[in-house]
Amino acid sequence: MSKLVTIYGGSGFVGRHIAQRMAKEGWRVRVAVRRPNEAMFVKPYGAVGQVEPVFCNIRDDASVAAVMDGADAVVNCVGILDNSGKNTFDAVQADGAERIARLAAAAGIERMVHISAIGGDAESESAYARTKAAGEAGVLAHMPGAMILRPSVIFGMDDQFFNRFASMSRMGPILPIVGGETKFQPVYVDDVAKAAVMGVLGEAEGLFELGGPEVKTLRGWVEEILEVIHRKKVILNLPFGIGRLMGWTFDMICKVLFGLFDNKILTRDQVKLLRHDNVVSEGAQSFEALGIKPVAPESVIADYLWRFRPSGQYDAIKDSAKNLRV
């Protein structure tokens, strides 16, 4: 019988790519998610019955243990960008990661891959960064041979980096940003998936920081986005003080409206993160150690950011028409 991997958060942005690759490797894939009915799109990733979405509450021991029953390896892709009800940073990124590792060790599962993030720091003022560090510590306490991946911001078709700023560019002549001089090293989602698969297959273990081949400031990346989507905007780099005020305002609106408003604009915690560069540390193991050549954003982002151009898919046709002579 083929081997089985349980991927927690396997229908998410990164998880779905890992699920696809594991199915191609011939493994059975159990995709553990909060809403299985919304994850049915993963089933065609493999043969009939090879990839199955199942319910799991990462805050509950019994639920987490049930979906790893019989598994040969586990992957944790669960992470959040902001607190939402009971799904807080501590509950999901710290306690949830530790719970998966603890129960996997108790079940005799030997391989685990944990998706963390560059910038995880137990001493950080950011709750996101602190809980990422706590999650790593919890995993290693029970699964010392686990592979831990720390990617920079991840890009791809459904990313929340390039898509977010491209969408913002449609609102007026000025594009305000916070942390314009902060450096980022975006990494392609499928490259992260390739690394994770190596961990599941037992081809690599340890800590790896993953970044793409290019490092630019946030302003630099926004300029590239604007070039790709054929828009001209004035980029306004706001001071961190104003950023904190904006984050506080949006967070308070969310709180006052009891979650009816989902703050996907800017949170106070994100402003804290924006104070620090998001790049691979000097001397850290990265793609080179895994034999993976990372994909550059410029070779991918035009394939999905075209929809933010003034005329969408017809923008190229209009540009071509300008060269016609009557």
List, in order, residues 6 or more apart from 14 with CB less than 8 Å away.
Answer: 77, 115, 154, 189, 192, 193, 196
Q: Which of 45-49, 208-212, 239-243, 258-262 has the lowest average pLDDT?
A: 258-262
| pLDDT attached to residue 324 | 63
Q: Which one, of 155, 132, 290, 302, lies nearest residue 230 by Cα?
A: 302
Q: What confidence tier does 263 reach under pLDDT thresholds 50, 70, 90?
A: confident
Q: Does a structural domain hold residue 109?
A: yes
Mean pLDDT of 190-205: 98
> Cα–Cα distance between 73 and 6 in angstroms, integer?
7
pLDDT at 302 over 70: yes
Is 192 domain-assigned? Answer: yes
Could you tell me if 153 and 187 are in contact, meaning their C-beta atoms sit under 8 angstroms apart?
A: yes
| Residue 28 within any structural domain of the chain | yes
Instruction: Record the tokens describing residue 21, joined without a space.
Output: 């690759």
Residues in the chain: 326
DSSP single-letter state for residue 42: G
Q: What is the mean pLDDT of residues 289-296?
A: 98
pLDDT mean over 312-325: 68
Closest CA to 274 of 189, 163, 177: 177
Fill in the amino acid letter for 240: F
In angstroms, rounded to a whole number, what is the distance separating the alpha carbons of residues 293 and 210? 11
Alpha carbons 112 and 199: distance in angstroms, whole number: 7
Residue 79 inside a domain? The answer is yes
Q: Is the distance from CB of 177 to CB of 236 less than 8 angstroms?
A: yes
Q: pLDDT value at position 211? A: 98
Q: How many domains does the chain have?
A: 1
Query: In the prediction, which pLDDT does 274 show?
Result: 97
Amino acid (1-letter code) at residue 318: K
Domain assignment of residue 30, yes or no:
yes
Confidence (pLDDT) at 189:
98
Q: In Å, how far are 57, 67, 105, 141 from 71, measured between CA atoms?
A: 17, 8, 12, 20
Range of the domain at 83: 4-156+185-213+279-294
Is the pLDDT assigned to residue 209 strictly greater than 90?
yes
Tell me the CATH number at 26: 3.40.50.720
Percentage above 90 pLDDT, the chain? 90
* Residue 46: half-sphere exposure toward Cβ, Cα within 13 Å: 24
By the 8 A CB rule, do 105 and 36 touch?
no
pLDDT band at 123 (very low <50, low <70, confident <90, very high): very high
In a domain, 249, yes or no: no
| pLDDT level of residue 69 (50, 70, 90 thresholds) | very high
> What is the structure's pLDDT at 320?
63
Distance, CA of 127 to CA of 277 (rounded, Å) = 17
- Domain annotation covers residue 299: no
pTM score of the predicted model: 0.94
> Is residue 143 in some structural domain?
yes
